[in-house]
Amino acid sequence: MFSAFEFSIRTPANGGYGWDNYLWAIREQDFFHYIIRSGWLAALTVLITLIVLVPTMTWLHLSKSTIRPFVDGISLLPLVIPVVAFAVGAQITFPEFVQNTVLELPFLYFVLALPYAYRTLDIGLNSIPLKTITEAARSAGANWWRTISTVIIPVIKSAVVGTVAITFALSLGEYTLTVLLHWDTFPTWVTYVAQENILGAIAISMMSLIIPVMVLTAVTLVAPGRSTQGRK
Amino acid sequence: MTLNVNKGGAPSRRRASLISFLKNIAPALPLLVIIGYFFLFPIGRLIYVSFMSNENTFTLDNFRTAMQEPYRSGFTNSIKIGLVSAAIASLPGAFAAYFIESRGPVKLRRTISVMSGVLANTGGVPLAFMFYAALGIQGQLTKVLKFFGWDIYAGRFSLGTFIGLLIVYLYFQLPLMIIVFSPAIVALRREWAEAARNLGASQLNYWTKIGIPLLFPSFIASFLLLFASGFSAYATARALTVGDIALTPLQIGGLLDGNVSAEQLNLGKALGVVMVVISAFAVIPYLAIQRRSARWQKR
Amino acid sequence: MSSKSLTLKNISKRFGNVNALDNFNLEVGVGELVALLGPSGCGKTTALRVVAGLEHQDSGSVLVGDLDISQTPAHKRNMGMVFQAYSLFPNLTVEENVAFGLQMRKVNKSVRLKKAHQLLDLVGLDSQSKRFTHELSGGQQQRVALARAIAFEPEILLLDEPLSALDAQVRINLREEIRRLQLSLGTTTLFVTHDQEEAMAISDRVGVMNNGVLEQIDTPDALYNKPASSFVASFVGTMNRIPAHITDGMVEIFGSKIVALKRGNESGQVHALIRPESISVAATTAQGNAKVLTRSFMGASSNIICQTEDGTIVQSLMTSASTGDLLPGSSVQLRVLSSEVLVANV
């Protein structure tokens, strides 16, 4: 498995056996434009996730509401629907004014990432004595927003980080929905580039795989570990 | 959250309880509204339109066309690639998950899980290009194999063929298997293995009587998820093929891009609906099995 | 299969740079129930796991009867073990769980299920035989685990803190049941716990461990009344430590001279070790030698905590009837009721 990676590392250096391709890629003005664009969209998605999902799930866990199983179930639906089919549905549903704004994509990405984000947060919220610390915070005088941001989120930090990571990664790399709805983001631009400059595209792909892996690896190595089956 | 006690009479009671119900679930409303509008609504529309003809009358024609060539091959191919890639990746993935979770040091374990997460989720585009580099006509790996006497392009191989695609699919199916199956491995309590040994079971006995029976449902569930993933994959296929393989996701993509003939207006929708049905056949059992397994898996 | 004796000889085991067991020696007689008692990390669980074969000792040997089983793999050791929790196989019913040991010994199906039912009946769970683990309460699960461990009539029974995960009342009931069962079967048993009340209540002998070493092994009575070390004295029951000075083999406590029982070279300034029930508290109108800090009413008896002039905290256990008028802050006279007292170096 890793040999493929190894080989592809050498190839981008081909046309001249130098870092030419990488340099070209970086110098292409569109490169940063699209990275920033995708990054921006991904960030918006993450924001939506944090603002909407975290409080809602906190409430669901706390209040033992009867609709919780319902929401649990719904959160899994996007898994069932293939993205391609969803794209078709999306294309014919949203009126023009929504489609043209930047708002459409983050919400759609949010829905796509929902199963993973929901599950990660669910596990995180289950693993802490939620009721107790919320009551402690509230009795000490914090209102809901402060409680969530200063008490709950830090406690389930690893779950939140995981959610952010997966939502961000998914939004950045989302190709299918994006291209079928005729949007231009980083992944779609890369395929476009490939038609003219395959080596450059490869260089870009290398970076887009390696960099997140390195960042996430670094983060996981540095972050405090979750408990594993240790010795007695 | 206090319950609103309604003191109205009989006729207004229903409306009042609807209002109080809404008030009760109010915090969840933003989420539900987003899901409703951005997800359920498009799906609903998709299903609705798939039954529409060009003149906006109810028809099953779209589905009839969907079942004929070339779309029929599209389905068979997609199902095939889903099944085969799942079949090939599932067993090695399961073993890999086992070895990683039970033997690896903690840091290695987490690194691999993160990498698998990234690989499985960053979409097929970078992956496709990796493969161009490795196994394309000019690829490094191709050159190495040629050096050893095996010209893979001598036959009709190319990354755009079924086999070619299959190989690429395996690259994201394997990490996906590891991610999906690992929780089941982690949930196997050490006490069970120890109790089994204490009661006289050899390693083999433990696995045949306890370990494998416990893991089997999750294994099947993971297989199903892998199938759904292979079946619906679009990005990689689009990046690597030149349109000569019939695959449903690609066909739908083609129909969406324009160049649609008059009769085919709503064909794409019908294809989409069939995809959803097939996918549901895999994912819903997956969810059901996971739910059942969760009973013994919670720590 | 009749039970045999269990011997651990010079067992040593290190984990990393921690000595879990240091030349550990233990003998459990046939049919005896010996408890290993100590705080977390003292090595008691390690000792048990070495006996079970789940950990391999660095040096030393384990004998069952006269047979050295040190190199025998765990699954051939013919010992029954009950774990702290979660040890029942979730994919098997209760009766299949109990029959598992017999299944591994190739006993035929109807015979082993019959035996399983017998045992489940013994622990009062025959009605649950077709259920699965997750449908049972914690106490029920442990009773099934017990039945499972003795189903194949092992020579040795090992219990690793089997009651620690249970509610207080369940714990008390279950420990009696374990003892009853053990006595009627006559199985040599090793029982690990950190709860000294539990250990004292049901064991023939109790071994108190600390940092990989067995400090004292004796009957509960002897441990309580004649603790061999400071650690044992404080770990088993509550112990007062009152500063005193040895003169001519006697110490003066609360105005009385008492014989000092030395175990070693104690001299000069020492701590006198006195059980709460050996100290009496009496209300006094005079100055008194202590003041009451708190009084805990426990039904038949009450715990009075006082403080002497030099700041020593003294605990006394008396019948509630005799302590009715002792309010916090009141002056009292403390007296030692025994004529001899153990001493320990400060």
Domains and CATH numbers, chain A: 28-221 (1.10.3720.10)
Tell me which residue of A108, A102, A87 sits closest to A36, measured CA to CA: A102
For residues C27 and C13, give the distance between their C-alpha atoms in angstroms, rounded to a whole number. Answer: 18
CATH assignment of B65-297, given 2.40.10.220, 3.10.20.600, 3.40.50.980, 1.10.3720.10?
A: 1.10.3720.10
Distance to chain B for C232, nearest Cα, Å: 31
**Start and end residues for every CATH 1.10.3720.10 domain found in chain B:** 65-297
- Tell me: pLDDT of A121 over 90: no
Q: Which residue in chain B is spatially nearest to A212 when comparing CA positions?
A: B118
Least confident segment among A19-23, C224-228, C277-281? A19-23
Q: Is the peptide bond before B70 cis (omega within 30 degrees of 0)?
A: yes
> Burial level of A143, CB count in 10 A (0-12/13-18/19+)?
exposed
For residues C68 and C5, give the distance between their C-alpha atoms in angstroms, rounded to a whole number. Answer: 12
For residues B114 and A225, give the distance between their C-alpha atoms in angstroms, rounded to a whole number. Answer: 13
For residues A62 and B1, give the distance between their C-alpha atoms in angstroms, rounded to a whole number. Answer: 10
Task: Give the model's pLDDT for residue A228.
Answer: 36
Q: Taking the CB of residue A184, how many other CB atoms lie within 10 A of it?
A: 15
Task: Give the model's pLDDT for residue C75.
Answer: 87
For residues B178 and A1, give the distance between their C-alpha atoms in angstroms, rounded to a whole number. Answer: 14
Task: Give the model's pLDDT for residue B266.
Answer: 74
Average pLDDT on C40-64 reads 91
Rg value, chain A, Cα: 21
**Inter-chain contact B122–A173, Cβ cutoff 8 Å?**
yes
AA identity, residue B220: I
CATH assignment of C6-232, given 3.40.50.300, 3.30.360.10, 3.30.420.40, 3.90.45.10?
A: 3.40.50.300
**Inter-chain contact A231–C15, Cβ cutoff 8 Å?**
yes
Query: Residue B147: which pLDDT band, with cuts at 50, 70 and 90?
Result: low
B205 or B238, higher pLDDT = B205
Query: Residue B7: which pLDDT band, with cuts at 50, 70 and 90?
Result: very low
Q: Taking the CB of residue B256, how many other CB atoms lie within 10 A of it?
A: 20
**Start and end residues for every CATH 3.40.50.300 domain found in chain C:** 6-232
C-alpha to C-alpha distances, C233 to A202, B247, C36, C230, nearest whole angstrom: 74, 79, 16, 5
Report the sign of the C-alpha dihedral through residues A67, A69, A75, A77, in that order. negative
Compute the mean pLDDT over every residue in chain B, rounded to the nearest whole number: 75
What does pTM read for this prediction?
0.78
Chains in contact with B, counting 3 or more C-beta pairs less than 8 Å apart as contact: A, C
Task: Give the model's pLDDT for residue B3.
Answer: 44
Per-residue pLDDT of C157-174, as tens digits, reads: 999 999 998 988 899 999
User: Between chain A and chain B, how many beta carbons pairs sit less than 8 Å apart?
Assistant: 233
Chains in contact with C, counting 3 or more C-beta pairs less than 8 Å apart as contact: A, B
- Tell me: pLDDT of B4 over 50: no
Average pLDDT on C53-64 reads 91
| Most B-contacting residue of A110, A127, A176, A208 (CB-CB within 10 A), to test interface | A176
For residues A20 and A28, give the distance between their C-alpha atoms in angstroms, rounded to a whole number. Answer: 12
Best-predicted range by mean pLDDT (A16-25, A30-39, B139-148): A30-39
- Tell me: pLDDT of C58 over 50: yes
- Tell me: pLDDT of C183 over 70: yes
Average pLDDT on C139-148 reads 92
Q: Is B269 part of the contact surface with chain A (CB cutoff 8 Å)?
A: yes
In chain B, the percentage of residues whose pLDDT exceeds 90 is 5
**Inter-chain contact B296–C79, Cβ cutoff 8 Å?**
no
**Inter-chain contact C85–B191, Cβ cutoff 8 Å?**
yes
Distance to chain A for B173, nearest Cα, Å: 12
Per-residue pLDDT of B83-113, as tens digits, reads: 988 898 889 888 888 887 777 666 666 666 6
Task: Give the model's pLDDT for residue C30.
Answer: 92
Structural tokens at position A120? 């990660």
CATH architecture of C239-345: Beta Barrel (2.40)
For residues A218 and B8, give the distance between their C-alpha atoms in angstroms, rounded to a whole number. Answer: 61
Out of C75, C90, C134, the one facing B197 most closely (by C-beta) is C75
Least confident segment among A25-39, C54-68, C151-165, C216-230? A25-39
Per-residue pLDDT of A59-76, as tens digits, reads: 788 777 777 778 887 888
